[in-house]
């Protein structure tokens, strides 16, 4: 599954142009708590979250995030989007809830990351 597939499955919007959506996504993790995300991510992972502050992008400096899906219609401010752009980290926004987004991706074959 690629980020393109994820955008389609979640009827989502890509938050800046030029992000590499051909990246293959091996697994995903969903949480709104930063320490949970840090504790559970040991391999390249797609993150689904409702957090939109700069620390979510900062996480990508510490762990290997393939991209971030913002759920529940939330979108980060422009300075946060710019931070992601600098890092080449694709950002996607969907109106769906965290539960629904996760369910759709899981059903489509995207496994949970190893914790």
Residues that bind another protein (CB under 8 A): 32-36, 38-39, 42, 49, 51, 53-56, 58, 61-64
Q: Among 99, 3, 86, 13, which residue's Cα sits nearest to residue 49? A: 99
Q: How far is the CB of 59 from another protein (least distance, A)?
A: 8
Nearer to another protein (CB atom), residue 11 or residue 88: 88
Nearer to another protein (CB atom), residue 7 or residue 47: 47
32's tokens: 């709104």
CA dist 83 and 90 (Å) reads 11
First to last CA, the chain: 20
Q: How far is the CB of 91 from another protein (least distance, A)?
A: 16
Taking the CB of residue 66, how many other CB atoms lie within 10 A of it?
A: 22
Q: How far is the CB of 1 from another protein (least distance, A)?
A: 23
Nearer to another protein (CB atom), residue 8 or residue 61: 61
């Amino acid at each position: 599954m690629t980020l393109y597939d994820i955008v389609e499955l979640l009827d989502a919007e890509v938050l800046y142009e030029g992000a590499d959506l051909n990246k293959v996504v091996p697994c995903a993790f969903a949480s709104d708590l930063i320490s949970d995300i840090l504790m559970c991510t040991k391999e390249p992972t797609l993150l689904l979250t409702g957090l939109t502050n700069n620390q979510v992008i900062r996480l990508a400096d510490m762990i290997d995030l393939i991209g971030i899906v913002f759920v529940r219609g939330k979108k980060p401010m422009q300075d946060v989007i710019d931070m992601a752009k600098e890092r080449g980290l694709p950002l996607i926004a969907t109106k769906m809830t965290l539960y629904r987004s996760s369910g759709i991706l899981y059903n489509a074959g995207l496994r949970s990351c190893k914790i």
